[in-house]
C-alpha cells in the first residue's frame, strides 16, 4: 500500500487480507522489520471496491505473486458478482444444505428443548475454543455429524496451522436423547437458530440489568433447599423479569457473545491515561513499585515465626503496603507503553537486586508470585499453619489426600493469625486480593488460583449444595449422610445410633480446623436421634457459608475493578476460565500461536525435537516452561486471546553456534521469546531445557548488578 485512509505513506506497507464484510475488504497492516514487532495486534481497516485496483497482490497463501503477470487485484468479477447471491454454495455439502424456509423451520424445531440446546451450545463453545474461531464464523463444513465426514474433505483443512476436528459431534458427546441421533441438516438448522438468538441477545444486553440487586457485595450465599436464603420476597414482577429469565438461560448464550459484551464494558470503564510527551517515557500516572523478591523467597519467609511478619515481607504484602491507598480508578488503567510487547498495565515494577527492566515480564511475574505465596502449603511453619499466608488454606480433601479436587484451596474462614483477626484488616486484604485479580483480568493475565465451585457459584449468582461441600470435604459430607440414614426400625438401631452420634455435639469444625457452635453453647449439647435433622441442616448451612465474609470482601474488590454485575451471565466454569484461565498448558494451541525468526524454522531437527519434548513433559513441567518463557502459568483460552505470538529463535551467539550442547536456552519473558541452540540430540535438548526452567528464579538478563540493593542479609 502506498496510501491509507486517503493519505500518502512515507514508505509502502504490506497488509494481510482478513476477509469481506458488508461489501468491504478488511485488512490488517503488517509490521515492517522490527519496528513495532512486539506492540501487539494492530487494528483492522477496510478498502472500498473502488480502491481495489490500486492494490498489488504479493502473496497468496504461501505462493509469491510478485512475478506473476498482472498481479494487481482483478475486480472484473466484482461487478458481475453483484448479479448473483453472495451466498452461492461452494462445496457439495453446501449445495445439499440449501433448502426452502418451510423445510428449515421444520428441521430447526424438531424435538428440541432448552436442555438439548444448552448441550449443543456447550459443544459449540468447546469446538470453537479449540480451533480459535468465533461461533458466528463457523462455516457450514464445520457443523457436520460423523456420517457426513468425507463429503468434501477438501473443504476441511486447518485453522492457523491447526487441524480442525472432522465432526462437531465426536465420541457420543451428546447425552440428550434429542441430540444423540441428530442428523446433519437438523444440527445445522438448530445451530443457525442459536446463532441468530445470540446476535439478538448481544444487541439488547446493554439495556438489561443482568443482576439488579448486585450493587451490594454483601448479598448472601444461597444454599440449596434453604428457604431463608432464597429471597422470593421481591415480588412476582422480579421473578418474571427479563434479567431473571436471561440468568436462568445463561447456558444458551455463547461464551463469545458474553465475552464480546464483557469486553465492551471493560473498555468503556477503563481509566484514561494521558500519553507522555516522549513516547519512550511512561506517564506519571503509571507509578513504579519497588519489590524485593529476594527477601520474599519461600525459604526465607518460612523461617519467620509470626504470620504477620511473613505477610509484610511477601510480595503480596509489599504490594498491599504500596497500593492500599490507591483509588479504584488506578486499578482500572490499561496503559501499554512502546516496546512493551502489547502488555497492558496499571503500574510498573522495579525488582530490587535483579538486573531486569520492566517491559512486561516483571509485571506478569508479580502476579504469578502472589499466586505462589497464597497457595504455598508445602513448607514447614513453626506454628503449624496450613499456608505461607493466611488468606487461603488447602481444602480438607487436599490435606487428607482423599476425594476429588485435591488441588483446590479455600478462603480461610477465620483468617486468624497473631496479627490478623477476622476483622477489618483481614477483610481489607481480601478486598485488595479481589482488586489485584480484577487488574490481572483487565490486562489479559490469568492468575492461576485453584478455587472450588464454592467460590465460583456464588460469584455467578448460583446456589451451593452438599455436593459442592463433598467436592472439597468428602469426610464431612459422608458423615452427614450417615447421620441422615440412621434407621430406628432395625435390630441394631441402638448400637448404630450410639456409634454414629455418640461423640457428636451441636458444633462443627470449619475447613481451617476451628470448632464453632451451631447454636449458643452447642459444643455442650449432644446430638440425639430426635435432633439429628436439625444438626444436619445446621452443619450443612454453616459449612457452605463459612467463608461468606471473606467472599463478600473478595467480591467487593473484584467489583471495584471489573463489571461483576455481568457475572451472572456466565456459568461458574466460564467465570473461572475468564478470571483464572485453564490449568493445562495446551501444547497444540501454543504451537498454533508460534512464529519462527532469526534463523529458526519449523522444519529444523532441533525445533521438531523441542515440540516433542514439550509434549512429553508432565503438566507441572509445562507450566514451569510457560513461566520461564512468558512469566505466567496459565494460557489464554483460545488463539484469538493471545496478545502476542510465541517466538522461537535461533541462538546466534558464536559459541552457541559452534558448540550448542554447551549452552542453555535463553528466554525473554517480556517478549514471549526463546532462543534455542541447535542441540545435537533430543536428549540433550530435554536436559538443557529442564535445567534452564528449574534454575531461573530471578531475572538478570538486562543489566548486571554488583552489590545490588535487595541482597542485604540474603
pLDDT of residue 163: 47
Q: Is the pLDDT of residue 479 over 50?
A: yes
Least confident of 167-171, 486-490, 560-564: 167-171
Average pLDDT, the chain: 82
Helix axes 114-131, 255-268, angle to 10 degrees: 70
3-class secondary structure per residue, 638-669:
CHHHCCCCEEEEECCCHHHHHCHHHCCCEEEH
Q: Which of 235, 267, 299 is the last residue of a domain?
A: 267
- Give the domain range for residue 16: 3-81
Number of structural domains found in the chain:
4
pLDDT of residue 18: 83
Report DSSP state, residue 32: P
Are 555 and 593 in the same domain? Answer: no
pLDDT tens digits for range 633-658: 888 877 777 878 899 999 888 888 88
pLDDT tens digits for range 507-538: 999 999 999 999 999 999 999 888 999 999 99
> What gap in Å lies between CA 52 and CA 257, rounded to an integer?
33
Distance of CA 4 to the CA centre of its chain: 36
DSSP secondary structure of 260-298:
HHHHHHHHHTPBP-PPPSSTTSPPTTS-EEEE-SSTT-H
Which range among 66-70, 141-145, 255-259 has the greatest average pLDDT?
Answer: 255-259
Question: In this structure, are residues 210 and 243 in contact, taking their beta carbons and an 8 Å threshold?
Answer: yes
pLDDT of residue 666: 92
pLDDT of residue 150: 56
Radius of gyration of the chain, Cα coordinates, nearest whole angstrom = 29
Segment holding 590, helix H or strand E: helix 587-592
Are 564 and 615 in the same domain? Answer: no
Are 618 and 558 in the same domain? Answer: no
Are 231 and 108 in the same domain? Answer: yes
Question: In this structure, are residues 395 and 409 in contact, taking their beta carbons and an 8 Å threshold?
Answer: yes
Are 405 and 448 in the same domain? Answer: yes
pLDDT tens digits for range 316-341: 999 999 999 999 999 999 998 888 87
Question: What share of the chain in percent tops pLDDT 70?
Answer: 79
Q: Is the pLDDT of residue 231 over 80?
A: no
Largest Cα–Cα distance in the chain? 97
Q: Is the pLDDT of residue 484 over 50?
A: yes
pLDDT of residue 38: 40
Are 239 and 314 in the same domain? Answer: no
Q: Which residues contact 456 (CB under 8 A, 6 or more apart)?
A: 572, 573, 575, 576
Are 232 and 353 in the same domain? Answer: no
Whether residue 72 lies inside any domain: the answer is: yes
Residues that are catalytic: 670
Find, among 147, 157, 155, the residue nearest to 186 by Cα: 147
Are 46 and 136 in the same domain? Answer: no
Are 374 and 416 in the same domain? Answer: yes
Are 111 and 243 in the same domain? Answer: yes
Whether residue 193 lies inside any domain: the answer is: yes
pLDDT of residue 158: 45
pLDDT of residue 84: 42
Q: Is residue 411 helix, strand or coil?
A: strand
Which residue in this structure is represented by grid cell 491447526?
162
For 709, how many CA atoms within 13 A lie in the half-sphere containing its CB?
Answer: 6
Are 307 and 365 in the same domain? Answer: yes
pLDDT of residue 713: 55
Amino acid at each position: 500500500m502506498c496510501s491509507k485512509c486517503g493519505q500518502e505513506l512515507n514508505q509502502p506497507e504490506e497488509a494481510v487480507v482478513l476477509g469481506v464484510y458488508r461489501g468491504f475488504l478488511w485488512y490488517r497492516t503488517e509490521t515492517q522489520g522490527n519496528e513495532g514487532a512486539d506492540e501487539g495486534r494492530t487494528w483492522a481497516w477496510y478498502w472500498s471496491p473502488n480502491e481495489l485496483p490500486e492494490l498489488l497482490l504479493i502473496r497468496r497463501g504461501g505462493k509469491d505473486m510478485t512475478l506473476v503477470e498482472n498481479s494487481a487485484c482483478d475486480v472484473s468479477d466484482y461487478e458481475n458478482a453483484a448479479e448473483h447471491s453472495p451466498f452461492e454454495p461452494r462445496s457439495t455439502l453446501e449445495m445439499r444444505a440449501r433448502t426452502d424456509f418451510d423445510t428449515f423451520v421444520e428441521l430447526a424445531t424438531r424435538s428440541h428443548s432448552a436442555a438439548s440446546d444448552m448441550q449443543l451450545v456447550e459443544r459449540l463453545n468447546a469446538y470453537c475454543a479449540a480451533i480459535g474461531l468465533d461461533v458466528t464464523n463457523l462455516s457450514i463444513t464445520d457443523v457436520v455429524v460423523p456420517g457426513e465426514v468425507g463429503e468434501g474433505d477438501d473443504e476441511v483443512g486447518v485453522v492457523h496451522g491447526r487441524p480442525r476436528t472432522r465432526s462437531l459431534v465426536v465420541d457420543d458427546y451428546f447425552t440428550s436423547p434429542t441430540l444423540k441421533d441428530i442428523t446433519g441438516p437438523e444440527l445445522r438448522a438448530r445451530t443457525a437458530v442459536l446463532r441468530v438468538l445470540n446476535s439478538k441477545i448481544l444487541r439488547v444486553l446493554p439495556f438489561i440489568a443482568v443482576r439488579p440487586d448486585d450493587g451490594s457485595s454483601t448479598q448472601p450465599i444461597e444454599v440449596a433447599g434453604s428457604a431463608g436464603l432464597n429471597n422470593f420476597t421481591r415480588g412476582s414482577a422480579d421473578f418474571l423479569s427479563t434479567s431473571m429469565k436471561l440468568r436462568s438461560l445463561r447456558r444458551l448464550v455463547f461464551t463469545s457473545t458474553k465475552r464480546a459484551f464483557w469486553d465492551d464494558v471493560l473498555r468503556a470503564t477503563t481509566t484514561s491515561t494521558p500519553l507522555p510527551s516522549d513516547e519512550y517515557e511512561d506517564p506519571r500516572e503509571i507509578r513504579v513499585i519497588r519489590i524485593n523478591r529476594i527477601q520474599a523467597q519461600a525459604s526465607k519467609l518460612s523461617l519467620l515465626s509470626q504470620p504477620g511478619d511473613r505477610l509484610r515481607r511477601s510480595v503480596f504484602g509489599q504490594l498491599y503496603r504500596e497500593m492500599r491507598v490507591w483509588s479504584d480508578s488506578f486499578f482500572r488503567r490499561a496503559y501499554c507503553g512502546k516496546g512493551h510487547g502489547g502488555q497492558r498495565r496499571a503500574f510498573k515494577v522495579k525488582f530490587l537486586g535483579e538486573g531486569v527492566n520492566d517491559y512486561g515480564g516483571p509485571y506478569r511475574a508479580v502476579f504469578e508470585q502472589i499466586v505462589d505465596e497464597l497457595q504455598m502449603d508445602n513448607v514447614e511453619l513453626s506454628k503449624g499453619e496450613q499456608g505461607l499466608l493466611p488468606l487461603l488454606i488447602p481444602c480438607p480433601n487436599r490435606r487428607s489426600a482423599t476425594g476429588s479436587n485435591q488441588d483446590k484451596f479455600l478462603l480461610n474462614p477465620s483468617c486468624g493469625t497473631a496479627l490478623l483477626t477476622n476483622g477489618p484488616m483481614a477483610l481489607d486484604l481480601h478486598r485488595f486480593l479481589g482488586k489485584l485479580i480484577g487488574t490481572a483480568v483487565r490486562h489479559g493475565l490469568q492468575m492461576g488460583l485453584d478455587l472450588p465451585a464454592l467460590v465460583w457459584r456464588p460469584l455467578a449468582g448460583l446456589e451451593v449444595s452438599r455436593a459442592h461441600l463433598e467436592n472439597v470435604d468428602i469426610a464431612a459430607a459422608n458423615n452427614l449422610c450417615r447421620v441422615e440414614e440412621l434407621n430406628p426400625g432395625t435390630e441394631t438401631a441402638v448400637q448404630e445410633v450410639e456409634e454414629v452420634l455418640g461423640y457428636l455435639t451441636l458444633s462443627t469444625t470449619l475447613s481451617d480446623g476451628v470448632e464453632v457452635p451451631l447454636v449458643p453453647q452447642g459444643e455442650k449439647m449432644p446430638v440425639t436421634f430426635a435432633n439429628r435433622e436439625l444438626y444436619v441442616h445446621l452443619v450443612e448451612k454453616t459449612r457452605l457459608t463459612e467463608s461468606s465474609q471473606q467472599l463478600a470482601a473478595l467480591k467487593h474488590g473484584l467489583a471495584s475493578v471489573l463489571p461483576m454485575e455481568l457475572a451472572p451471565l456466565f456459568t461458574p466454569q466460564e467465570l473461572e476460565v475468564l478470571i483464572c484461565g485453564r490449568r493445562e498448558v495446551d501444547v497444540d494451541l501454543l504451537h498454533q500461536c508460534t512464529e519462527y525468526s532469526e534463523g529458526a524454522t519449523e522444519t529444523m531437527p532441533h525445533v521438531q525435537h523441542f515440540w516433542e519434548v514439550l509434549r512429553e513433559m508432565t503438566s507441572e513441567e509445562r507450566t514451569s516452561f510457560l513461566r520461564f518463557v512468558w512469566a505466567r502459568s496459565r494460557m489464554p483460552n483460545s488463539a484469538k486471546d493471545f496478545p502476542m505470538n510465541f517466538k522461537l529463535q535461533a541462538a546466534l551467539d558464536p559459541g552457541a553456534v559452534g558448540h550448542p550442547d554447551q549452552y542453555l536456552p535463553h528466554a525473554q519473558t517480556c517478549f514471549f521469546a526463546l532462543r534455542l541452540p541447535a542441540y545435537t540430540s533430543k536428549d540433550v535438548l530435554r536436559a538443557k531445557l529442564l535445567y534452564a526452567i528449574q534454575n531461573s528464579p530471578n531475572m538478570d538478563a538486562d543489566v548486571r548488578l554488583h552489590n545490588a540493593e535487595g541482597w542485604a542479609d540474603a
